[in-house]
Amino acid sequence: MEKDKNILIIGGGIAGLATAYYLKKGLQKGAGSCRITLIEKGSRLGGNIITERLDGFLIEGGPDCFLSEKPWALALCRELGIEEELLPTKKPSGTTYVYSDGRLHPLPEGIILMVPTKVLPLIRDSLISWRGKLRMAMEPFIPKRKETADESLAEFVRRRLGEEVLQKIAQPLVAGIHAGDPETMSVRASFPKFVEMEEKYGSLVRGMLHRMKAMRSMAKKKDGKRLTMFVALKSGMQLLVDTLTDRIKGDVTILKDTAVNRIEKEDHHYTVETEGGESLRAHALVVATPAWVAAELLEALDEELSGLLKSIPYVSTATVSLGYERDRLSHPMDGFGFVVPEKEGRTIMAATWTSSKWEGRAPEGKALIRCFVGGAKRGELVQLEDVELIRLVKKDLSDIMGIEEEPLFVRIYRWHRAMPQYTIGHIERVETIERLCASYSGLYLTGSAYHGIGISDTVREAESTAEKVIATLLG
């Protein structure tokens, strides 16, 4: 490979950083050498990932963990030598509560996402009515859907498990993960495993029981200890960002405080213009920004591609973390936290009892609660002034958990248009985007907008993007 090829990566979130890392690794393995430059608009790297330490508390502003079932983030941590930092939850599976009709109900044991796998806990459960339980119990006998066209998550859950499960379990759980609206979300793109289970086993219950067997042999740590479903990092998610940055330093030029505002193609290279008026040349260009930013950058190059990228909706969310003296809270906080169905009309859509869920998040004798607000239905909350947002969150914590105590501190992180929504038709939309993109040799899109919204999916995509870049440059 020629030595003077330039690879530009736009965006210094986990997608851009991981792409840079895998590129560096691939090129070092003898695939050739190139100049790699990563351009980040902000003054810090990591995008949505940010960890803050405050008076002995460890606060995650954005993501606080990843799913161990999706192995790519774990594999990256191991490769980076931070395996010892992997932090399982305090308990392998903690109770999640659902706020309904004025009180918190434990989600019955054995309900995985929204699928029941145990009979007894369901019979004893106080959240779902008898009618709703009977409807749930019919799930294995509901015939498979014949049509193959995409379906909304809401329709899917209604069809298989009934309206009550949709309203009281699926909707709030999905809001807590995707900040999304099940009525518009694509079940195929957001929960492909559910569609697979229906297709393969004819039932979610049967499919989930099979899956649980497989999960028992779940990712194990080198010392043989089993990892829990959710895994964090002892020093916070920022460690992943910092370690990646450290590893690429020296081989990758990192330009911070540099916003790209236009991309153009000229013969065999791309020209990238920055807000500061600088012009950079690239033989390969990786756009690792949110899709709506990619749409703006690529508008002059390809209107159709830009239009499709723009049609991937994004929602805004905020996390509000509150620290307390533990003995001033009467609530037992005996679980991972709670979710709130939309019909309850609350500000908080989900809350994590962070100090109950993870070791080392609050000093001895203190408690940390992190609330999640905004999303597809209440995005306007993210715009509220701090004082008003805090007032509403405190009111909910008082009504839901009986907390009247003043917090030791409150930390708010606002995430504007940060969470992509995989709405009906997402898979086909992304296929067209990728087909159009492939017609521009050396142009790549990567990040959470396309094939999975979580950190682990984003890492997998970054690795595959790096492989494609290397293959093109070598070809």
Site map 68..107 versus ligand FAD, x via CB under 6 A: ----------------------------------------
Q: Which stretch binds ligand FAD (CB under 6 A): 159-167, 218-226, 380-388, 448-456?
A: 448-456
Closest CA to 356 of 380, 378, 374, 331: 331
- Residues 6, 7, 20, 41: which binds ligand FAD (CB under 6 A)? 41
Verify binding: residue 357, ligand FAD, rule CB under 6 A.
no
Verify binding: residue 337, ligand FAD, rule CB under 6 A.
no
Contact 170, 203 (CB under 8 A): no
Q: Which stretch binds ligand FAD (CB under 6 A): 39-47, 103-111, 155-163, 220-228?
A: 39-47
Query: Shortest approach of ligand FAD to residue 30 CB, angstroms?
Result: 28
Verify binding: residue 65, ligand FAD, rule CB under 6 A.
yes
Verify binding: residue 442, ligand FAD, rule CB under 6 A.
no
Verify binding: residue 207, ligand FAD, rule CB under 6 A.
no
Verify binding: residue 379, ligand FAD, rule CB under 6 A.
no
Q: Which stretch binds ligand FAD (CB under 6 A): 11-19, 180-188, 218-226, 245-253?
A: 11-19
Phi-psi region of 56 (alpha: psi -120 to 50; beta: other; left: phi over 0): left
Closer residue to ligand FAD in complex, CB, 165/455: 455
Query: Shortest approach of ligand FAD to residue 53 CB, angstroms?
Result: 18
Verify binding: residue 236, ligand FAD, rule CB under 6 A.
no
Number of chain positions touching ligand FAD (CB under 6 A)? 37
Query: Shortest approach of ligand FAD to residue 444 CB, angstroms?
Result: 13
- Residues 7, 8, 31, 40: which binds ligand FAD (CB under 6 A)? 40
Verify binding: residue 459, ligand FAD, rule CB under 6 A.
no
**Cα–Cα distance for residue pair 347/378, rounded to 1 Å:** 8
Query: Shortest approach of ligand FAD to residue 336 CB, angstroms?
Result: 12
- Residues 6, 167, 317, 354: which binds ligand FAD (CB under 6 A)? 317
Of 147-206, which residues contact ligand FAD (CB under 6 A)? none
Query: Shortest approach of ligand FAD to residue 94 CB, angstroms?
Result: 15
Which residue is listed with tokens 């145990």? 118
Verify binding: residue 50, ligand FAD, rule CB under 6 A.
no
Of 237-296, which residues contact ligand FAD (CB under 6 A)? 259-260, 288-290, 293
Binding site for ligand FAD (CB under 6 A): 10-16, 39-42, 47-49, 62-66, 259-260, 288-290, 293, 317, 319, 415, 418-419, 447-448, 453-456, 458
